[in-house]
Each structure stands twice: as structure tokens, then as C-alpha cells.
Structure 1
Amino acid sequence: MQIEIEYCVPCGYLDRAVEAQKTLLSTFGQSLEGVTLKPGEKGVFTFRAGDDVIYSKPDEYDITTIVETVKARL
């Protein structure tokens, strides 16, 4: 499974996107095809697996929920 993290550049979400990327890769390793970062704007902080949005709550960033959601899809 390939995960894409789209994050708002003007909002300063790069650090949390990188943290999430590192957490997912260290937790799931080779079970994932990859975790890519995609710059965005307008408050976006969205995680996608293929065409499916699996997390999109920039104000309530919760890495535990994100990890559990990815785990359920593997």
C-alpha cells in the first residue's frame, strides 16, 4: 500500500507530515510500498491510500489514529 500525505505548506504542517511519515515507515516498514509527501495549501492535512482518504483532520492531528487506520488496511 502506498500512502500519500498532503500537507499545508503555509500552515507550517511540514514537521507533522515528516513525523507521520517517519512513524508510519518505522511502524510498518516493508509492509508499505512507500509514504510520500505532497505540498498543499488551504489548511490541508490529508492521508490517502490510493484514491481513498483515510485521515483528514488538520486541527485534530492524532498519529495514533492514523497508525491504527493504516494497520486496519494492511
Structure 2
Amino acid sequence: MSNIEIEYCVPCGYLDRALDLQRAVLQNFGRTVDRAALVTGEAGVLQVRVDGEAVWDIADDEYDVDEVVRRVKQAL
């Protein structure tokens, strides 16, 4: 099983977005992942990693929960 980490910028107020991503990941893959953890960060970060490998980053991509779910699915 896989580990998913959602790192989010606390000063930027990305907690709500991180929670939305976590909820979507757990709803779609809850039985096939060991954990979907929120990790606090800074400097504008909002990134999703599967087993340590970045699959989505707000620095490179538009915020779209459905796209994040697709990328997590591909990585799993």
C-alpha cells in the first residue's frame, strides 16, 4: 500500500485546499492507501506526493481536485 502526503503552506492559508485534496484522495483510494497525511509547509507550497514522488504541485499546475485525483490514481 502507498503513502500520500499533502504538503501545504500554512501562512498562505492553504489548509482548506489541503483538506479538500485529502478528502478526495481518501474517498477515492481509502482502501488502497496506508495514509493520506497533511504536512505543514511554507513558501507557497501545495504539493501532493505518492510514496515520496511529487505527482502534483501548485507551482506547476492549476488547482483542480479532479486532476489531482487522476494523477494520484496514475501513481498508484
TM-score, normalising length: structure 1: 0.91
- Contact residue 55 and residue 75 of structure 2 kept, 8 A: no
Identity of aligned residues (%): 45
What's 2:9 paired with?
Answer: 8
Secondary structure at the counterpart of residue 61 of structure 1 = coil
Alignment of 1:46-65 (within 5 A): 46-57=47-58, 60-65=62-67
Aligned to 1:72: 74
* Distance in 1 separating the partners of 2:53 and 2:30: 21
TM-score normalised by length of structure 2 = 0.89
Q: Provide the alpha-carbon RMSD of the alignment.
A: 1.3
Can you give the 5+ residue segments of structure 2 that lack an aligned partner in the other structure? none
Which residue in the other structure is 2:35 paired with? 34
Partner SS state of residue 12, structure 1: coil
How many residue pairs get aligned? The number is 74
Runs of 4+ in 1 over 4 A off after TM superposition: none
